[in-house]
Amino acid sequence: MLSQRLAKYYLMRAWDMDPPSMGKEIASARTEFDGALSALRSAPESTAKIKSELDAVALQWEWFQSALGLEGAAAYGLIVVNASEAILNSMELVTGMYEQLPAR
């Protein structure tokens, strides 16, 4: 859901709705996503299939961050929204894969 939060912030800025705390919120969401993705990618429980999906998420994340850097460019709004949805869908798939792992 962090990717969707970032897309929301991007769109708010594109629409000139930029509360003073937004920069801090954006930085916090980016840091949180980076940390979570890194932790999942290095988790010993991650199977090859999970790691493959997380690699795809990492690639989407890199691309998404580039698009986020184009703040205010309303033409990129759809790209940002689509990327955030793709990341969310992949992370939901990964969550399902973790849920299927045998209990320790």
- Predicted confidence (pLDDT) per residue in 8-66, tens digit: 888 888 888 878 888 898 889 999 999 999 999 999 999 999 999 999 999 999 888 88
Burial class (CB in 10 A: 0-12, 13-18, 19+), 42: exposed
For residue 104, the model assigns a pLDDT of 67
Domain boundaries, the chain: 2-100
For residue 70, the model assigns a pLDDT of 72
pTM: predicted TM-score of the whole model, two decimal places: 0.82
